[in-house]
């Protein structure tokens, strides 16, 4: 509640604006060549989450991006020991334990350093608290409902990095990939944005509520390509699901992707058709079980309110500022929509598109 409530998310709006603007400038500089949207969107989401957590830019952003890539890669690989604990010894030889020690050690060092900087007596009080400020304040507050150890103060940001960066960037990539395959949808979204924003340099946060079609585009992308498609739970009591008896304390995996593409609930479920949301109250907040890209209930994604303004702002600006095409010689049939195995469901091959600055 303290870290990711609406008020706190709102306090990061300058960070979002600055990083999204930087993203489009970087884009404009290299517009003669196809833009690798998979890396560009990861940079922007990494930067926004990093600044929300630490209140400043990383001193080594490229190094941090690479570190996150390694950690995500490692966590996304299946560990046999998760299913057969007696095989834990395997991880000593297949590089898993060594990788965990190395990369989590590096993350730990970054956190130690940043926490040390936050505790420095000469540090001036920031106008807006970052997430480390909030955690340290809560730790000192004797009336707080929880008592936080320094382990917690490091673990929570790591959890947020792992859960927040990759998922947001994967969503932007899947959305742009669907838009390039569906040019009439892309045009409709661009027409809406350009009509609402008219003549301004950038789409700004206060214009987002007017972009109704864009919101449907994002919903449709999250329905078809939920970036965290499998959500684990443990049953607390014996139950029956679909005729199967499931004993208490069984690990079950909920398949979010197959829920969102279930023919019982969706007409032509594999088609990218944002119009299906225009006259529908179905949303992704966990109230409509036809579509649950952020999970449901107490363990549902606490970062939903953080991610939506970020995704909408980034997407709206990419579409407002540029016209997008497939690289010369490529048709939409050539576009590989295969999913990569991993913690987050990414597009397997990077999405590279040609961007022409739009006349606005």
Q: Which two tokens stand for residue 72?
A: 């995500």
Per rule CB under 6 A, is residue 168 in the interface with ligand HEM?
yes
296 binds ligand HEM (CB under 6 A): yes
Q: How many helices (H) and strands (E) does the chain have?
A: 13, 7
293 scored as a contact of ligand HEM (CB under 6 A): yes
262-to-244, 267, 289, 337, 345 alpha-carbon distances in Å: 19, 9, 11, 19, 18
Beta bridge partners of 355: 324
- CB nearer to ligand HEM: pick between 345 and 354: 345
Phi-psi region of 286 (alpha: psi -120 to 50; beta: other; left: phi over 0): left
List binders of ligand HEM among 94-153 (CB under 6 A): none
Closest to ligand HEM by CB, 72 vs 168, is 168
Interface map 303-322 toward ligand HEM (x if CB under 6 A): x--xx---------------
- With CB under 6 A as the contact rule, the residue among 301, 316, 318, 343 that binds ligand HEM is 301
Q: Are strands 352-357 and 35-36 parallel, antiparallel or unpaired?
A: antiparallel
52, 255, 271 from 268: Cα distances, Å: 39, 19, 6
Return the number of the residue (301 or 315) whose C-beta is nearest ligand HEM.
Answer: 301
Residues 217-236 as x/- pattern, contact with ligand HEM by CB under 6 A: ---------xxx--x-----
- CB 107, CB 156: distance < 8 Å: no
The CB-side HSE value for 112 (13 A sphere, CA atoms) comes to 6
Check binding of 159 to ligand HEM (CB under 6 A): yes
User: Which one, 76 or 330, has the nearer CB to ligand HEM?
Assistant: 76
Calculate the alpha carbon distances from 30 to 34, 37, 64, 257 in Å: 8, 12, 23, 35
CA distances from 33 to 217, 325, 329 (A): 26, 11, 14
The minimum distance between CB 356 and ligand HEM, in angstroms, equals 27
Q: Is 301 annotated as a binding residue?
A: yes
Q: Which stretch binds ligand HEM (CB under 6 A): 135-143, 296-304, 320-328, 345-353?
A: 296-304
Identify whether the C-beta of residue 214 lies closer than 8 Å to the C-beta of residue 312: yes
Tell me which of 99, 269, 300, 342 binds ligand HEM, using CB under 6 A. Answer: 300
Work out how close the CB of 123 gets to ligand HEM at its nearest, in angstroms, rounded to a whole number. Answer: 23
User: Any contact of residue 175 with ligand HEM (CB under 6 A)?
Assistant: no
The answer to whether residue 167 forms part of the interface with ligand HEM (CB under 6 A) is: yes
**Which residues are documented as binding site?**
301
**Which residues are documented as binding site for heme?**
301
Binding site for ligand HEM (CB under 6 A): 49, 159-160, 163-164, 167-168, 171, 226-228, 231, 293-296, 299-303, 306-307
């Amino acid at each position: 509640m303290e870290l990711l409530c609406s008020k706190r998310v709102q306090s990061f709006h300058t960070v979002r604006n600055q990083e999204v603007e930087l993203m489009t400038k970087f884009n404009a500089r290299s517009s003669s060549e196809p833009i690798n949207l998979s890396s560009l969107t990861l940079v922007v989401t990494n930067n926004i989450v990093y600044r929300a957590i630490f209140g400043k830019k990383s001193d080594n952003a490229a190094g941090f991006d690479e570190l996150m890539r390694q950690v995500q890669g490692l966590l996304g690989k299946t560990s046999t020991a998760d299913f057969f604990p007696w095989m834990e010894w395997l991880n000593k030889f297949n590089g898993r334990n060594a990788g965990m020690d190395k990369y989590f050690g590096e993350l730990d060092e970054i956190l130690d350093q940043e926490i040390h900087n936050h505790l420095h007596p000469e540090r001036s009080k920031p106008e807006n608290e970052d997430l480390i400020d909030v955690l340290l304040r809560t730790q000192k507050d004797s009336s707080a409902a929880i008592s936080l150890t320094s382990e917690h103060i490091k673990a929570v940001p790591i959890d947020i990095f792992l859960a927040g960066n990759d998922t947001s960037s994967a969503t932007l990539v899947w959305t742009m990939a669907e838009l390039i395959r569906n040019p009439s949808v892309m045009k409709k979204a661009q027409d809406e944005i350009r009509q609402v924003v008219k003549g301004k340099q950038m789409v700004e946060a206060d214009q987002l509520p007017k972009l109704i079609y864009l919101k449907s585009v994002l919903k449709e992308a999250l329905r078809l390509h939920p970036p965290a498609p499998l959500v684990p739970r443990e049953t607390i009591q014996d139950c029956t699901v679909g005729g199967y008896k499931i004993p208490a304390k069984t690990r079950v995996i909920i398949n979010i992707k197959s829920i969102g593409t279930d023919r019982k609930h969706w007409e032509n479920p594999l088609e990218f058709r944002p119009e299906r949301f225009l006259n529908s109250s179905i949303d992704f907040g966990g109230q409509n079980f036809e579509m649950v890209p952020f999970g449901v209930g107490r363990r549902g994604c606490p970062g939903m309110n953080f991610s939506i303004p970020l995704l909408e702002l980034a997407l709206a600006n990419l579409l407002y500022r540029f016209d997008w095409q497939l690289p010369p010689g490529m048709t939409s049939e050539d576009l590989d929509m295969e999913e990569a195995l991993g913690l987050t469901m990414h597009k397997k091959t990077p999405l590279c598109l040609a961007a022409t600055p739009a006349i606005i």
